[in-house]
Structure 1
Amino acid sequence: MPTILLVEDELSLALIVKDNLESRGFTVLHAADGQAGLDLFRQHDPDLLVVDVMMPVLDGFSLAEQVRHAHATVPIIFLTARGQTADVVRGFELGGSDYVRKPFSIEELVARINARLLAVATPTPPALVAIGQYQFDYPHQRLLRQGHAQTLTNREAEVLQHLYQQRNQVLARAEVLQALWGDNTFFNGRSLDVYITRLRRYLRADAQVQIVNVRGIGYKLML
């Protein structure tokens, strides 16, 4: 079964989460601060991390940043009471895969863990695909054009991958939100808008490539 690294300084909550995950067959490693979590990550190479943001020694964002330097694809789920838009966006920019707000249900956390593990287990698409003048390197989260490489965040790459898979077709907004965030809420919709805006900026050098809004439905990547 997958190994989960839980980095949470609130001991009572950590024990509850650990016991519940282990009862579902996961192997769970627990660290009470960010530095201890980083040490366990380096020692055990877990399949997924559940990381609190506000922690002593090394906060969750700093931990995630260091993990991403060592491993580009291991899923990181932030588990935190912080819900401001800026915090959520920063978490995704640092390579976070998901964001679960406290208080939460164990069932929700397990569902999000399973979704992220399934995404990692899905066969990897071809390394490079053409998007107009660009080459999209989804596994390494890069857009390449004329020798220039634009590094994408984990979430930017996932959004672009969904658009590419249904290129020249309408991609329902609700479908993207459900696949990447697990729910279709206003808050997550605003986050998706941020990523669409950034992807348009990255792709603007090729006028033949457009991400257009389809009113009331979603988006279309036109090539």
Structure 2
Amino acid sequence: MRLLFVEDDAKIVTFVVNGLKQAGFAVDHAQDGRQGLDMLLTAGYDAAIVDIMLPRMDGISMVAQARAQQVKTPIIFLSARQNVSDRIRGLEAGADDYLVKPFAFAELVARLQALLRRVSGVIEPVSLKYRGFEMDVIKHRLLFNDERVELQPREFALLEYLMRHPDRIISKTMIMDHVWDYSFDPTTNVVEACVSRLRKKLFDQTGQKVIKTVKGIGYVLETPI
């Protein structure tokens, strides 16, 4: 899932962006409302998190303009303002949810997941199974025959994406779009390196090459375990 985070407070940016990446999201950051609007209009995001008090353009104006231009991206407002009237203004501007600062990071992730399920109309499973592997998406835990398999955040996000699309060839571009943010340099071999590390960890458990490379196209989960 690719998210846009629009916030000008450096401490909050570091905290939230790092946390979201560890939770398996790809995150792009904008530091003011105008930049956030430009990014929202030109890139496809699964969801956006927008602070209300922003330089150059406030969050409410940003979201209102995005909605006026038919942007359908689900949006959560962040604000230190706790008045009911402020929350109503945010929702009337086009936001889908509103979270008051300070907030628990776990609540932000839970609200994001609930919003994505609600907007898509599809309830994606939080427990994924693939031929001996069982993944708990919420707890970020992978088991193979009830034994814990330790994965780094990017490896977990990559495997989750593949497990949600078994027997489907997933291209490098698709992986970059869902697992890495736009600061990622597509000319590097970071995708191949991540696939290699993940493949080895899965091989150590199964003794088989679980992730198959389709030369010139991408990767697929198809080898029986």
- Distance in 1 between the 2:51 and 2:61 partners? 11
8 Å contact kept, 1:73–1:120: no
8 Å contact kept, 1:6–1:29: yes
> Does residue 19 of structure 2 align to residue 23 of structure 1?
no
Q: Which has the larger radius of gyration?
A: 2
Taking the aligned partners of 1:73 and 1:116, their CA distance within structure 2 comes to 13
Aligned to 1:56: 55
Q: What is the Cα deviation at residue 62 of structure 1?
A: 0.3
Instruction: Report 1:140-159 matches (<5 A).
Output: none
Q: CA–CA distance in 2 between the matches of 1:51 and 1:87?
A: 14
Distance (whole Å) between structure 2 residues aligned to residue 72 and residue 94 of structure 1:
12
Separation of aligned partners in 2, 1:83 and 1:45:
30
Shift of residue 72, structure 1, vs aligned partner:
5.2
State the superposition RMSD in angstroms: 1.2
- The equivalent of 1:73 in structure 2 is 72
Q: How many residues align?
A: 122
Q: Which residue of 1 aligns with 2:43?
A: 44
Relative CO higher for 1 or 2, CA cutoff 8 Å, sep ≥ 6? 2
Which residue identity lines up with residue 18 of structure 2 in the other structure?
D
Provide TM-score, normalisation by structure 2: 0.52
Separation in 1, partners of 2:70, 2:22: 28
Runs of 4+ with >6 A deviation: none
Relative to structure 1, the CA distance from residue 79 to residue 47 in structure 2 (aligned partners, 3 Å threshold; closer, same or farther) is same
Residue by residue, what CA displacement relative to the aligned partner does 1:143-176 show, whole Å, maximum 9, x if unpaired? xxxxxxxxxxxxxxxxxxxxxxxxxxxxxxxxxx
Equivalent residue, structure 1, for 2:10: 11
Q: What CA distance in whole angstroms lies between the structure 1 residues aligned with 2:116 and 2:99?
A: 16
Three-state SS of the structure 1 residue aligned to 2:78 is: strand
How is 1:134-145 mapped onto 2 (pairs within 5 angstroms)?
none
Q: Give the Cα separation in 2 of the matches to 1:50 and 1:8.
A: 8
- TM-score when scaled to structure 1? 0.53
- Aligned pairs for 1:188-199 (under 5 A) are none
Code of the aligned partner of 2:93: L
Residue aligning to 2:86:
87
Give, in whole Å, the separation in 2 of the partners of 1:100 and 1:70: 24
How far apart, CA to CA, are the structure 2 residues paired with 1:94 and 1:8? 18
SS of residue matched to 2:94: coil
> Unaligned 5+ residue runs, structure 1?
124-223
